Amino acid sequence: MEDFKIDSILSFGGYNWRVLDIQNNGALLITEDIIEQRAYHNAYKDITWADCTLRKYLNGEFYDKFSEADKSRIMPVLNKNLDNQWYGSKGGVDTKDSIFLLSIEEVCKYFGDSRSKLYSRGKNQRYWFERKDENNSKRIARFEGETWGSWWWLRSPGRVSVKAVYIHGDGNIGIQGNNILKGNISDGKCTGGVRPALWLKL
């Protein structure tokens, strides 16, 4: 049986996962690294997590890569999808997910405590949390061994509904969001890092 402790790393389904939380008979896990890069949605239009193609992929094609034994340990959860705390853009309906992206609230809670910055926006903060946030380093993730430029998606809505919140390559929270598809990313697809999360039955 795995040794489940907060912040420990364990192997499951072919990936390395970090334990973020333990409640009752389950543990909240997120992949230690960015495992791939994808657009949040396949069209540049107003969208929320409930209807985006990245959610469909994670709960379909990605989920189906797990063995039946592993699937039996993945606990479906009802996720709250709150409105953006700074801009008021809509988070959409609650979703039942087997695999999901973390929300901005979860990232602020589990990677050091940055919740005060989420709920009391500083007067000079326009698009990001503070560059000097002491928790930035905890949110940096690698993709294929590199950290520079390796930003990753959250499921929360950005400043408008064609954007989703992301974690910058330096670990700062981009609460204004990156474009869900096109944008200033070189390939025109705005493909962000994917760090799937799930609740694992203990």
pLDDT digits (tens, 9 = 90+) for 15-28: 999 999 999 899 99
Q: Which residue has the higher pLDDT, 172 or 64?
A: 64
Mean pLDDT of 35-51: 95
- 78 neighbors 95 (Cβ within 8 angstroms): yes
Mean pLDDT of 146-155: 85
Q: Which residue has the higher pLDDT, 162 or 112?
A: 162
What is the pTM for the complete model shown? Answer: 0.92
Mean pLDDT of 78-100: 96
Nearest to 100 by CA among 154, 46, 163, 23: 154
Mean pLDDT of 112-118: 79
Cα separations (Å) of 130 from 6, 21, 157, 163, 200? 26, 25, 19, 20, 33
d(CA 149, CA 3) in angstroms, rounded, equals 33
